[in-house]
Amino acid sequence: MKRKVFTKEFKLEAVRLLGSSGRPAAEVARELGIRRNQLYKWQYEARALQPRHELH
């Protein structure tokens, strides 16, 4: 079975939706057709890319 490849835009929108929707990660992930852990990984990666001053 071949792995799905997601665009950067899809990943960023998924992370934005997770942060702004107020819904559980499992629900957001299910809606997007991805695993919850994948959503958390993208969230971690997005935060790591932000400049330090934006994290506060």
4-30 pLDDT per residue, tens: 899 999 999 999 999 999 999 999 999
Q: How far apart (Å, rounded) are the C-alpha atoms in residues 1 and 17?
A: 28
Residue 21's domain comprises 8-51
**Integer Cα distance of 33 and 27 in angstroms:** 10
**Number of structural domains in the chain:** 1
User: Is 2 inside any structural domain?
Assistant: no
Q: What percent of the chain shows pLDDT beyond 90?
A: 75
| Residue indicated by tokens 């057709």 | 33
Provide the phi-psi class of 35: left if phi over 0, else alpha when psi is between -120 and 50, else beta.
Answer: beta
Residue at 18 is within a domain: yes
Q: What is the pTM of this model?
A: 0.80
Which has more pLDDT, 54 or 36? 36
pLDDT reported for residue 49: 83
The answer to whether 36 and 25 are in contact (CB under 8 A) is yes
Residue at 33 is within a domain: yes
Q: Please give the mean pLDDT across all residues of the chain.
A: 90
- Residue 42: inside a domain, yes or no? yes
Please check the confidence at residue 54 and state whether its pLDDT lies above 80: no
Domain presence at residue 3: no
Instruction: Provide the 10 A C-beta neighbour count for residue 23.
Output: 11
Residue 25 in domain: yes
In a domain, 56, yes or no: no
